[in-house]
Structure 1
Amino acid sequence: ISSFEKIKDNIDRTCLPEYTHAIYEGDFAISLAISIHSDVPGLSYRIKIYKNLSFDIFSNELPVSKGDVNHICASESVSKFTEIHNILAFLKNKHVTSPSSNISLASKLIQSSQEEPISNAHLEFISQQLDLH
């Protein structure tokens, strides 16, 4: 991949995992999968690629360490289309959640809801208890 603009024009959509969608905004591109198999639809996984070709990856709204995909992309930025395809395939298979990731997600959601003044102390207590696990 020689430039960010090449991603939109040249990525082979037939190689993307099933139900993966691409969104292109000015400074970044996102490939994501939406899960509709639960009561509340949500993002199963995504990769966000920036103009400088660096990227961030997420599974179930939680960041995934780039160390988890070192065997696919050893650098901080993507350089081949196959790296994008393979990272998405990795994330698709990773979306099974562990109890610890569920606790992390619950803690994250509670912390984000603490902006509401009602029962803030109660939510803070719950968040602290979750962080102990």
Structure 2
Amino acid sequence: MAKFTVAVMGLGRFGSALAQRLEDSGVAVLGVDTSEEIVQGLSETIRHLAVAEARDPETLTQLGVTEDTLVVLGMTNVQASLLCLTACTTLGVREIWAKAGSQQHAKALSRLGVMRIIQPERDAGLQMAAELLNRR
């Protein structure tokens, strides 16, 4: 399988938007989701897709993920996120970014070595508050 620059695990609204934007910019992206329907729906815009539960190092290896792949965990399900994170660290992936669904989830991801964590709804709310405060 091809070597990818970025692997996006979880192709919901966040993950699919991220993968499509990277793909449009010429980045080699692998998109992975457990839903065949979601993967099929993205097949026109993302070249490299897989239906899989990327929860163990063997599956990640079969998908072409290496220690040099930047992995983005796009799921907010804490169990799925942590299992995928554990598989990535076991494989030796050096750079992992993640989406967190809660502050507790973000803290767990941080403690386990995730380099960049985003909480989209929280971050968007803070950004909008800053914009409103700057209007004064």
- Name the TM-score, length of structure 2 as normaliser: 0.29
Query: More strand per residue: 1 or 2?
Result: 1
Superposition TM-score, scaled by structure 1 size: 0.29
Query: Which has the higher relative contact order, 1 or 2, with Cα contacts under 8 A spaced 6 or more apart?
Result: 2
Structure of larger gyration radius: 1
Which structure has the highest helix share of the two?
Answer: 2
